[in-house]
């Protein structure tokens, strides 16, 4: 009986070992990093990124990519997500494959968190310096305290060259030129190794003797005092005194070598300048909106009134970074990521120019696989099934007006 049990135990151990080992070697290529798993309502009703431009899609190590564009902070911000009162403009990349050389919102340098106002539109710019070769999906991103990272569209950028050539030089406030990439790295390794060694020695000193059961017996039988000898106490005192002496020495030698230091800067910046957008002269009322699950299409009935002085046509509907274009009105020339661009995704039953003063009810269909691929259709299972996005109208001279829509969405399954 015993041998069979042993065999089974042995076999299952071998199986476990195999499973763990194969899991270690099984590393499928990650083609994205979770942008599709972020709740649809979060991507649709928080930050709308638009007019984006990635300056290059192939760079050599040390070269800089500029990401510029605008973002609109949606007025219909969901109640379940904290407002962007403390927000940080970021970039979604798989680790430090680029370094951020600078970022601006509304022309102001923003190395810290900022306070954003609902309903405002801001311009932004981020400089990224290439560090590690590879193909990287580079997203715009806004970290919102209490809301998490809110991801924008991602574009593939290829970095070539060798990481060994990467440098990150800067001049300190005391005039020294240092390379942040390997600044004092030997020192960092030395101190980590030293403290880890001391910690290990401390643990080894105590665990080299009988551990749990004999000690438990000694304690329960009232002989706890015998567990720690006079010699143990001496060693412990030596460790304590040595640790304090080493800390004091490290601190004083560092203060001698670097008499001037400043703390890392943190804090919140308020009063970031939003874009001064002209008043829109188009008003849009959403009469109804539904999502046809089998057709992967959203249909909206809109009543549009043109109060301006030139005729306009609907050219684009954008939601959660997916752009549905009306091909007769708008063509993308910015190199927007393919998977997020439905070049012929928007159809309007009557998209003849809407004259000044005219009101018309139009039926608009936004259809593309992106509804499913980007898991936007998931929002029909939300307790608050709403969609939101931006509509872009154009007049004959190409002047653009941006209109926000925010309305309930009703699914149809047939
Ligand atoms: Cu991505």
Q: What value does the mean pLDDT take over residues 162-169?
A: 96
Percent of the chain with pLDDT over 70: 92
Quick check: is 193 in a domain? yes
Residue 25, domain member (yes or no):
no
Return the CATH number at 111: 2.60.120.570
C-alpha to C-alpha distance for 76 and 338, rounded to whole angstroms: 28
Residue 276 above 70 pLDDT? Answer: yes
Q: Which residue has better confidence, 1 or 330? A: 330
Contact 159, 133 (CB under 8 A): yes
Give the domain range for residue 382: 282-412
CA distance 136 to 390: 28
Q: Does the pLDDT of residue 83 top 90, yes or no?
A: yes
- Taking the centre of ligand 1 as the mean of its atom positions, its distance from the CA of residue 65, in whole angstroms, is 17
User: Is the domain of 61 the same as that of 143?
Assistant: yes
End-to-end CA distance of the chain: 61
Q: Which tens digits make up the pLDDT trace of 171-222? A: 999 999 999 999 999 999 999 999 999 999 999 998 887 778 888 888 899 8
101: CA distance to ligand 1 center in Å? 21
Ligand 1 center to 92 CA (angstroms): 7
Distance 34 CA to ligand 1 centre (A): 7
The rounded Å distance from CA 8 to ligand 1 centre is 45
Q: Which of 107, 141, 168 is the last residue of a domain?
A: 168
Q: For residue 406, tell me if it sits in a domain.
A: yes
Residue 276 lies in a domain: no
Say if residue 350's pLDDT is above 50. yes
Lowest mean pLDDT among 2-16, 56-70, 149-163, 179-193: 2-16
CA of 328 to the centre of ligand 1 (A): 30
- How high is the pLDDT of residue 1? 46
Centre of ligand 1 to C-alpha 131, Å, is 18
Mean pLDDT, residues 59-63 taken together: 97
Distances (CA, A) of 219 to 168, 204, 211, 213, 249: 58, 21, 12, 10, 39
pTM metric for this prediction: 0.81
- pLDDT tens, position by position, 10-37: 666 666 666 666 666 555 455 556 778 7
d(CA 167, CA 321): 34
For residues 205 and 320, membership in a common domain is answered with no
**Closest Cα partner for 77 from 154, 140, 147?**
147
- Would you state the structure tokens that stand for residue 215, as one six-digit string? 């000690």
Dig out the tokens for 312 from the structure.
Answer: 């306009």
Distance of CA 281 from the midpoint of ligand 1 (Å): 36
How many other C-beta atoms can be found within 10 angstroms of the C-beta atom of residue 93? 20
Considering only 17-21, 73-77, 135-139, 256-260, which range has the smallest mean pLDDT? 17-21
Q: How far is the CA of 347 from the centre of ligand 1 (A)?
A: 28
Q: Phi/psi at 280 (nearest 5 deg)?
A: -85, 145
The total domain count for the chain is 3
* Residue 284: strand pairing partners: 304
User: Which strand (E) or helix (H) includes residue 201?
Assistant: helix 185-207
Residue 245 has pLDDT above 70, yes or no: yes
Whole-number Å distance, alpha carbon 54 to ligand 1 midpoint, is 14
Query: Cα separations (Å) of 286 from 45, 51, 119, 290, 386?
Result: 16, 24, 19, 11, 12
Nearest to 344, CA basis, from 367, 369, 319: 367
Task: Return the bridge partners of 391, or none.
Answer: 317, 403
Measure 31 CA to ligand 1 centroid, in angstroms: 7
- Do 118 and 87 share a structural domain? yes
Do residues 312 and 204 both lie within one domain? no
CA 198 to CA 247: how far, in whole Å?
13
Question: Residues 6 or more apart from 315 whose CB is under 8 A from it?
Answer: 325, 326, 329, 330, 346, 392, 393, 394, 400
Query: Does 391 map to a domain?
Result: yes
Which CATH number covers residue 374? 2.60.40.1580
127 and 193 part of one domain? no
Same structural domain for residues 42 and 156? yes
With helix as H, strand as E and coil as C, how does 334-349 read?
A: CCCCHHHEECCCEEEC
- What would the two tokens of residue 262 be? 């400043």
Residues 148 and 86 in one domain: yes
Chain centroid to CA 76: 21
CB 302 within 8 A of CB 286: yes
User: Is 186 within 8 Å of 174 (Cβ atoms)?
Assistant: no
Expressed in angstroms and rounded, the spacing between residue 90 Cα and the centre of ligand 1 is 14
pLDDT score, position 226: 82
Calculate how far, in angstroms, residue 102's C-alpha sits from the geometric centre of ligand 1.
21
| Dist CA 81 CA 84 (whole Å) | 9
* Size (the chain), residues: 414
Cα-to-centroid distance, 136 and ligand 1 (Å): 8
8 in a structural domain: no
Are 91 and 46 found together in one domain?
yes
Confidence check: pLDDT of 345 > 80 = yes
13 domain-assigned: no
d(CA 121, CA 49): 10
Q: What is the pLDDT of residue 390?
A: 95
Report CA(221)–ligand 1 centroid distance (Å). Answer: 62
The sign one gets for the Cα dihedral 368, 372, 373, 379 is positive
Say if CB 323 and CB 402 are below 8 A apart: no
Which of 127, 143, 168 terminates a domain? The answer is 168
Centroid of ligand 1 to alpha carbon of 138 (angstroms): 6
Distance 51 CA to ligand 1 centre (A): 18
Q: What is the pLDDT of residue 163?
A: 95
CATH number at residue 224: 1.10.287.710
User: Which pLDDT tens digit goes with each residue over 392-402?
Assistant: 999 999 899 99
In this structure, what are the phi and psi dihedrals at residue 373, rounded to the nearest 5 degrees? -60, -45
């Amino acid at each position: 009986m015993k041998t069979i049990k042993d065999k089974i135990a042995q076999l299952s151990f071998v199986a476990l070992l195999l499973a763990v080992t194969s899991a270690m070697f099984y590393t499928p290529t990650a083609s994205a990093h979770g942008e599709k798993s972020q709740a649809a309502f979060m991507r649709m009703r928080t930050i709308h990124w638009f007019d984006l431009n990635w300056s290059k899609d192939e760079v050599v190590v040390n070269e800089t990519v500029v990401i510029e564009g605008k973002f609109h902070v949606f007025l219909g911000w969901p109640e379940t997500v904290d407002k962007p009162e403390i927000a940080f403009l970021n970039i979604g990349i798989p680790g430090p494959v680029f370094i951020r050389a600078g970022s601006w919102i509304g022309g102001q340098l923003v190395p810290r968190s900022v306070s954003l106002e609902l309903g405002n539109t801001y311009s932004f710019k981020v400089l990224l310096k290439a560090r590690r070769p590879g193909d990287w999906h580079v997203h715009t991103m806004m970290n919102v305290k209490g809301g998490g990272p809110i991801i924008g569209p991602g574009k593939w950028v290829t970095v070539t060259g060798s990481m060994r050539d990467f440098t990150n030089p800067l001049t300190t406030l005391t005039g020294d030129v240092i390379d942040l990439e390997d600044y004092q790295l030997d020192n960092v390794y030395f101190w980590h190794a030293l403290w880890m060694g001391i910690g290990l020695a401390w643990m080894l000193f105590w665990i080299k003797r009988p551990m749990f059961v004999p000690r438990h017996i000694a304690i329960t039988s009232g002989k706890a005092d015998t567990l720690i000898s006079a010699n143990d106490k001496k060693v412990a005192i030596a460790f304590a005194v040595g640790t304090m002496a080493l800390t004091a020495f490290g601190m004083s030698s560092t203060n001698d070598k670097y008499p001037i230091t400043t703390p890392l800067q943190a804090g919140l910046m308020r009063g970031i300048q939003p874009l001064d957008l002209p008043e829109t002269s188009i008003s849009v009322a959403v009469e109804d909106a539904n999502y046809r699950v089998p057709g992967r299409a959203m249909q909206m009935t809109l009543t549009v009134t043109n109060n301006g002085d030139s005729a306009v046509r609907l050219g684009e509907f954008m939601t959660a970074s997916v752009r549905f274009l009306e091909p007769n009105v708008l063509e993308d020339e910015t190199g927007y990521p393919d998977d997020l661009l439905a070049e012929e995704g928007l159809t309007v039953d009557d998209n003849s120019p809407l004259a000044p003063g005219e009101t018309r009810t139009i039926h608009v269909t936004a259809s593309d696989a992106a509804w499913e691929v980007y898991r936007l259709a998931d929002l029909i299972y939300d307790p608050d099934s709403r969609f939101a996005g931006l509509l872009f109208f154009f007049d004959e001279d190409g002047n653009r007006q941006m209109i926000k829509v925010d309305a309930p969405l009703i699914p149809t399954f047939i």
